[in-house]
Amino acid sequence: MAEALARMHAPGWEVYSAGINPGEAANPEAVRAMKELGCDISKHTPRHVSAFQKITFDLVAKMDAPDISDFVKARWIETWDIPDPANGGIAEFRKVRELIEKRVRECLANPEEDALSRAA
């Protein structure tokens, strides 16, 4: 959901998502929650963070994950206090979708205050 939301609100940005324990396919509840916004993530393939070890990111927003600095290089790693909705139902996925969307919008609305400018 995070990758899709960032792509929706920041066209032209290079955006990726990954996890420490990725599933084999997008969670059906995540697919349903994003479909409510008109976004189809049903074909998204979850990836492990190690798939991006050769990239140095400007910003990494980590959610419900331990220290990932062994796997990912970034100018700035920011912790977003957003829980993993995997054990909840559609209501939990909607809640998390809204939290992620809020954080993405905040970064875009206040670039002078966000992690990208702190990392520069």
One-letter amino acid of 74: A
Q: Of the ranges 22-26, 70-74, 76-80, 110-114, which one carries the lowest mean pLDDT score?
A: 110-114
Domain range enclosing 51: 2-110
Among candidate residues 10, 17, 19, 107, the one with its CA nearest the CA of residue 57: 17
| Closest by Cα among 84, 7, 18 to 40 | 7
Q: How confident is the model at residue 30 (pLDDT cuts 50, 70, 90)?
A: very high
Q: Do the Cβ atoms of 13 and 4 come closer than 8 Å?
A: no
pLDDT of residue 112: 54
The reported pLDDT for the residue numbered 117 is 46
Task: Pick the range with the lowest mean pLDDT from 28-37, 69-78, 97-106.
Answer: 69-78
Sheet strands (E) in the chain: 56-63, 73-80
CATH of the domain at 89: 3.40.50.2300
Share of the chain above pLDDT 90, in %: 55
89 lies in some domain: yes
The number of distinct structural domains making up the chain is 1
Cα–Cα dist 84/42, whole Å: 18
Please report whether residue 118 resides in a domain: no
